[in-house]
Amino acid sequence: MFHKLRFTTCADIAYDRHVIKLSEKIKKINIDGTIAFNREMKSFTTFKTGGPADIFISAASVEDVIKIKQFAFENDLPVFILGGGANILVSDKGIRGITLYTGDLNMVHGDGTDLICESGIEVSALCESALSRSLSGLEFIYGMPGTAGGALWMNARCYGGEISRIFKWADVLNENNEMERIGFSPADWNYKISPFQKRKILILKACFTLKPGHKDEIRREMDKNYRDREQKGHFKAPCAGSVFKNNRDFGKPSGQIIDEAGLRGLRIGSAVVSDFHANIIVNEGGASATDILELINTVRAKVKESSGFDLEPEVIPVGDWR
């Protein structure tokens, strides 16, 4: 059977039939990448939880991406773009439509002090590539889970750096399935805000402006940041990094606010507010996405009650949450 028994409404049944029909058609799209059905998302997210993606496609080239997006458009299927899965919470019911995985789009090349990459490259691999070219500017992000595309979409920041500060341009597939180059414009970027969030576009390639550096100094800085993450417990248990954004108006980091509300160690099922950082929720093993979302909502409500601060979630719920 194509799906597990989880559909209840007429619309669900109609959708199910639609996808079953398309599954034959989609196998005939001529792509170099791979297509799978009902692929569990656990191994594609850092929370290590989440239900199946109806149609999971790993694109092997830009041409693949264009064909897949065209197919989705013609057949009225939603497309979710999956990078490293390090900032998302996939519903236990999974993701309807196509999940387009970028992890195999990972080419990188240099052009003077510019570093140009495909969007699915892991940020740490991108840092290693900069190091091999004696280029400095990416050290701050070494060790952060996720892809270049995800880091741009989220405007990732850490250790005094922010991806927007080295961003030069991105080649995207826009809403009309056309290639478009988006250059850096300061007004488009802010704390955890990027121009990609406002539009339904797929980042294919990006260019970062770096500067010449010394290999040993670059390595030292990268290792220092990685070790700091290790010491802070980032890699101890499945998580998605900070659950809530920081808000300058609150005068202190979200972790401290959650701590002061006495919520460290709070749990729902196997989802726990970690003992090493109150703004990180970990999956102690077998936590469902529902447990994690409930814990996020509970922390938010309790903080609001005790301090009046309304924390804004950073982790993105993805998929079928009905």
In terms of Cβ atoms closer than 10 Å to its own Cβ (0-12, 13-18, 19+), residue 186 is exposed
- Distances in Å between the alpha carbon of 188 and those of 146, 165, 183, 198? 22, 12, 10, 10
- Can you list the alpha helix ranges (DSSP code H) found in 94-182? 123-132, 148-154
The answer to the question of residue 91 lying near ligand FAD (CB under 6 A) is no
Contacting ligand FAD within 189-208 (CB under 6 A): 196, 202-203
Could you say whether residue 319 binds ligand FAD (CB under 6 A)? no
> Applying CB under 6 A, which part among 61-69, 85-93, 217-225, 255-263 lies near ligand FAD?
85-93
Pick the catalytic residue from 242, 254, 274, 288: 242
Q: How far apart are CA 90 and CA 45, in angstroms?
A: 8
Residue 154 CB contacts under 8 Å (≥ 6 apart), including other chains: 87, 146, 192, 194
Q: How far is the C-alpha of 136 from the C-alpha of 211, rounded, in Å? A: 5
Q: Based on CB atoms, which residue is closest to ligand FAD, 9 or 176? A: 176
Q: Is 121 in the site for ligand FAD (CB under 6 A)?
A: no
- Catalytic, 91? Answer no
Pairing of β 316-318 and β 167-173: unpaired
Is 314 labeled as catalytic in the residue annotation?
yes
**Is there binding between residue 157 and ligand FAD (CB under 6 A)?**
yes
Among 108, 151, 166, 237, binds ligand FAD (CB under 6 A): 151
Under the binding rule (CB under 6 A), the answer on residue 94 touching ligand FAD is no
Q: Is 288 strand, coil or helix?
A: coil
Looking at residue 21, its amino acid is: K
- Residue 106 class from Cβ within 10 Å (0-12 exposed, 13-18 middle, 19+ buried)? middle
Give the residue with the Cβ less far from ligand FAD, 86 or 273: 86
Q: Which is nearer to ligand FAD, 146 or 213 (CB)?
A: 146
Answer for which of 51, 146, 213, 319 binds ligand FAD (CB under 6 A) is 146
Residues in binding contact with ligand FAD, number by CB under 6 A: 31
Residues found near ligand FAD in the complex (CB under 6 A): 46, 81-88, 102, 119, 144-147, 149-151, 153-154, 156-158, 196, 202-203, 234, 239-241, 316
Active site residues: 242, 314
